[in-house]
Amino acid sequence: MSESVRKIIAAVVTIALAAIVVVGLVQGDKSDEDRARAIGSRVKCPVCQGVAIADSPSETARAMMDVVEERIADGWSDNQIIDYFSERYTDSIVIDPPFSGNTLMVWLLPILAVVAGVFMIFTRRKAPATKTSEVQQ
């Protein structure tokens, strides 16, 4: 077998093994601690400004993380736990609010601003100046 064929086979085997590892990490089962951390990073602390309960040092956030851990132990899904907090604190407790009703403007306003900016750039753009011949004296 030639050296170039060996290198190609080695590269293919290496890429295949790396792909298997990545797929295993992505699709692998999360531990309860990982799930609690992931859910806690999606819920805002009601005491701290814009900080997730997983990162907040407040007593309230710690109590909310305890609730998350209890619900996970009881077999609740991630969405059920998020809905639990949304029902008690409204959708404003969720860091990424759902795409509906009151939060629709939160999602649409940045898109509208970009479209308006692009529109303004193209409509205010002047045609390139043409050279005029100098008047001879």
Assign residue 87 a region (left: φ > 0; alpha: ψ between -120 and 50; beta: otherwise).
Answer: alpha
Residues 43 and 93 sit within 8 Å (Cβ to Cβ): yes
Per-residue model confidence (pLDDT) at position 59: 94
Higher local confidence (pLDDT), 104 or 84: 84
pLDDT reading at 131 higher than 70? no
With b for 16 or more beta-carbon neighbours within 10 A and e for fewer, the 62-96 pattern comes to: eebbebbbebbeeebebeebbeebbeeeebebbee
pLDDT on residue 93: 86
- The whole-number pLDDT of residue 54 equals 93
- Looking at residue 28, its pLDDT comes to 62
Give me the mean pLDDT over the 101-119 stretch.
84
Give the Cα separation of 63 and 46 in Å (integer): 12
Whether 100 shows a pLDDT value over 90: the answer reads: no
Q: What would the mean pLDDT of 45-65 be, rounded to a whole number?
A: 92
Quote the mean pLDDT of the chain.
84
What does the pLDDT read at residue 48? Answer: 87
**Over residues 94-110, mean pLDDT:** 75
